A and B are shown apart, each in its own frame.
Chain A
Amino acid sequence: MDKYFHSVRLDTSKCVGCMNCIKRCPTEAIRVRKGKAKMIHERCIDCGECIRVCPHHAKYAERESLTSIVNYKYRIALPAPALYGQFANLDDINIILNVLKRMGFDEVAEVSKGAELVSHATRKLMAAGAFRKPVISSACPVVCRLIRISFPELIPNVVNLNAPFEEAARLAREKAMKEHNLKAEDIGVFFITPCPAKITAIKQPLFGEKSNLDGAVAISDIYPVMLQQMKKVTEIENIQHSGRIGVGWAVSGGEASALLLDNSLHVDGIENVIKILEEIEDNKLNNVDFIELNACTEGCVGGCLTAENPYIAKNRLQTLKKYLPVACNRIGDDNVPHEMFWQKPLEELPVMRLSGNIVDAMRMMTDIKEIQKMLPNLDCGTCGAPSCKALAEDVVKGYASINDCIFMLRKQLDDSEMESLIPAPYRKEE
Chain B
Amino acid sequence: MGELNFKYDVLKNDFTCAGEASGKIKRTLKDLGFDSNLIRNVAIAVYEGEINMVIHADGGVITCDISPEAITVVLDDKGPGIPDVDLAMQEGFSTAPDNVRQLGFGAGMGLPNIKKYADDMLIETQVGVGTKITLKFLVK
A348 nearest CB neighbor, chain B only: B36
Inter-chain pairs besides A352-B30, A357-B33, A358-B32, 6 sampled, C-beta below 8 Å:
A282-B26, A348-B36, A353-B30, A358-B34, A362-B68, A365-B28
1/0 contact string of B17-54 vs chain A (CB within 8 Å)? 00100110010101111101101100110010000000
Chain A positions within 8 Å of B, measured between CB atoms, are 150, 152-153, 278, 281-284, 348, 350, 352-359, 361-363, 365-366, 369
**Known A362-B2, A362-B68, A366-B4: A281·B33 in contact at CB below 8 Å:** no
Is the CB–CB distance between A353 and B37 below 8 Å? no
Give the docked Cα–Cα distance between A152 and B4 (Å): 24
Q: Using a Cβ–Cβ cut-off of 8 Å, how many residues does chain B contribute to the interface with A? A: 23
Q: Judge whether B66 is part of the interface by a CB distance below 8 angstroms.
A: yes
Q: Is the interface of A mostly helix, strand, loop or mixed?
A: helix
Q: Which 4 A-B pairs have the closest CB atoms?
A: A353-B33, A153-B36, A361-B32, A358-B68
Give the docked Cα–Cα distance between A153 and B37 (Å): 7
The contact of B32 among A150, A284, A365, A369, by CB within 8 Å, is A365
Q: Is the interface of B mostly helix, strand, loop or mixed?
A: helix
**Known A362-B2, A362-B66: A282·B33 in contact at CB below 8 Å:** no
Is the CB–CB distance between A352 and B40 below 8 Å? no
Chain A residues whose C-beta falls within 8 Å of the C-beta of B30 in the assembled complex: 150, 352-353
Is the CB–CB distance between B37 and A355 below 8 Å? no
**Known A282-B43, A365-B28: A350·B4 in contact at CB below 8 Å:** no
Give the docked Cα–Cα distance between A283 and B47 (Å): 10
- Give, as a whole number of angstroms, the nearest-CB distance from A282 to chain B: 5
Give the docked Cα–Cα distance between A365 and B36 (Å): 18
Is the CB–CB distance between B4 and A283 below 8 Å? no
Is the CB–CB distance between B32 and A281 below 8 Å? no
Give the docked Cα–Cα distance between A348 and B35 (Å): 11
Give the docked Cα–Cα distance between A27 and B20 (Å): 19
